[in-house]
Amino acid sequence: MEYISTRGGSAPLNFEQVTLAGLAGDGGLYVPTEWPKFSQDQIADLAGLPYAEVALRVMKPFVGDTLVEDELRELCQQAYGRFAHAAVTPLAQLDGQHWLLELFHGPTLAFKDVALQLLGLLFEKFLARQDKHLTVVGATSGDTGSAAIDALAGREKVDIFMLHPDGRISDVQRRQMTTVLAPNVHNIALDGSFDDAQAMVKRMFADTEVTDRFAISAVNSINWARLMAQIVYYFYAASQLGSPARKVAFSVPTGNFGDVFAGYVAAQMGLPVERLIVATNVNDILHRALSAGDYSAGTVTPTAAPSMDIQVSSNFERLLFDLEGRDGAKTAARMAAFDQTRKMALPPEMQAAARDIFTSHRVDANDMSLAMRWAHEESAQVIDPHTAIGLSAARNADIDPSVPIVTLATAHPGKFREAVERATGFRPALPRRVGDLFDREEACDKLPGSYDAVKDYVTARATPAHG
């Protein structure tokens, strides 16, 4: 299996190379040259298998010969052995049609653990092979930072520098990062906003004084390996609900279009997906794009579902590439125009092709609260604000009552206690596995909002690529 850039300007790479590279050199995102296909029998054979075994079978074609089967199996067992539920991503039934897919049983209570626990192990394996040192630099508004730090803490040959906007993330989110005291973890509280932090990271990726000495990499969902790991739970859930004999719909609370794109890949591979419901909050660029062809960036409105407060959805480029007939030059031109104007109109044929599988809903604060209360009152399930946006969209989607709809439960309600309490009057507890979070020592350096300060900090502490 080889990978090409959505902008057509980078040489094909294998899985090991795209995992370490993150973004393609031409600014595009890596995708496989073609989607592997599963037969009905192969899907039927997944029934009853443990999660790690489903993961092995679904990911094997993407990994190609960069890992032998036993190596991949061992990595899956190790990554998913750290989850607090034996089923890793269990289903919970809400009523006759609606289900929750609980993706929050990992160490940091959000679905990002599912992919990042594996990515941490893949990094370690590939870096040992190449005798190379990696420097991960990222900016976080909460969930990605904690999941990445947990996954990389103490790993060989990799350092992680994570910037968060000082004072603008929740106490639980901050402590999940700053109480990890491994020497390869560097937490930076930046005097500025999330956008300021993000802009510094982007500048560092383009700064040859840094990139000439250090191998800089990313852990956000532009990294193909993250999306690949997320395809697995679509197969796992559908198989439990009777696929391939039965079609299943999924509702996905969406920000960067990563998680729902993984569902799209599952469908391309042959999983009988009735529909993918793209659920957005009031930051609705994806809803406007899919319902009216209007992909134009506005300004971010902060909401109770902060991991979806996004203006531009990076992974949407992967869908555009497919909708353009996998034409890299056309996709590159489209993205260059978007970078200039912050606007893109999707032609009617592309909109129609997208609507073959996607529908979208925009969920405001009131509908989010209603969904949280409905889940609590009807089936005694406490759900977090992101999940509530998915559930609200699922309940408003016009889908045949015989088709089960699975809403992806992307975060544990304990991670967003205040918002849950405001909607339901019920304050969820933090799960026992993070119990003493508030007693642990924190390690974090505060830096002024200056690029030079951040660059000096990173280059003084990181290890050169071959050093």
CB contact at 8 A, 347 and 273: no
Annotate 405-462 with DSSP letters as a single string: EEEEE-B-GGGGHHHHHHHHS--PPPPGGGGGGGGS----EEE-S-HHHHHHHHHHHS
164 in contact with ligand PLP (CB under 6 A): no
259 in contact with ligand PLP (CB under 6 A): yes
Closer to ligand PLP at the Cβ: 145 or 328?
Answer: 145
Residue 228, helix vs strand vs coil: helix
Closer to ligand PLP at the Cβ: 133 or 174?
Answer: 174
Annotate 287-342 with DSSP letters as a single string: HHHHHHSEEE---PPP-S-GGG--SS-TTHHHHHHHHTTS-HHHHHHHHHHHHHHS
290 in contact with ligand PLP (CB under 6 A): no
Cα separation, 241 vs 300, in Å, equals: 37
106 in contact with ligand PLP (CB under 6 A): no
Minimum gap (Å) between residue 257 Cβ and ligand PLP: 5
Query: Among residue numbers 183 through 212, which ones bind ligand PLP (CB under 6 A)?
Result: none
Q: Cis omega before residue 253 (within 30°)?
A: no
From candidates 32, 106, 145, 253, binder to ligand PLP by CB under 6 A: 253
Minimum gap (Å) between residue 104 Cβ and ligand PLP: 8
Query: Among residue numbers 382 through 421, which ones bind ligand PLP (CB under 6 A)?
Result: 386, 410-411
Query: Amino acid identity, residue 306?
Result: P
Minimum gap (Å) between residue 56 Cβ and ligand PLP: 23
Closer to ligand PLP at the Cβ: 114 or 134?
Answer: 114
112 in contact with ligand PLP (CB under 6 A): yes
From residue 226, give the alpha-carbon distance in Å to each of 123, 193, 220, 454, 461: 12, 26, 8, 26, 26
What is the number of H-type helices and E-type strands within the chain? 19, 15
250 in contact with ligand PLP (CB under 6 A): no
Total site size for ligand PLP, rule CB under 6 A: 16
Query: Among residue numbers 15 through 74, which ones bind ligand PLP (CB under 6 A)?
Result: none
From candidates 146, 307, 359, 360, binder to ligand PLP by CB under 6 A: 307
Minimum gap (Å) between residue 195 Cβ and ligand PLP: 16
Query: Among residue numbers 420 through 459, which ones bind ligand PLP (CB under 6 A)?
Result: none
Cα separation, 242 vs 402, in Å, equals: 12
x-marked contacts with ligand PLP along 220-239 as a string, rule CB under 6 A: -x------------------
Q: Looking at 114-122, 125-133, 162-170, 252-260, which segment touches ligand PLP (CB under 6 A)?
A: 252-260
From residue 440, give the alpha-carbon distance in Å to each of 174, 176, 180, 181, 188: 12, 10, 9, 10, 18
Report strand pairing: 215-217 vs 134-139.
parallel
Q: Looking at 50-58, 153-161, 203-211, 256-264, which segment touches ligand PLP (CB under 6 A)?
A: 256-264
Minimum gap (Å) between residue 17 Cβ and ligand PLP: 23
Smallest CA-to-CA distance from 166 within 193, 130, 199, 133 is with 193
From candidates 31, 127, 169, 308, binder to ligand PLP by CB under 6 A: 308
**13: DSSP letter:** B
From candidates 140, 254, 381, 407, binder to ligand PLP by CB under 6 A: 254
Active site (catalytic) residues:
112
CB contact at 8 A, 308 and 258: no
Nearest-Å Rg of the Cα atoms of the chain is: 21
Closer to ligand PLP at the Cβ: 29 or 46?
Answer: 29
List residues bridging with 407 in a β-sheet. 100, 251
Two tokens at 326? 């996998």
143 in contact with ligand PLP (CB under 6 A): yes
Positions in the binding site for ligand PLP (CB under 6 A): 110, 112, 143, 221, 253-259, 307-308, 386, 410-411
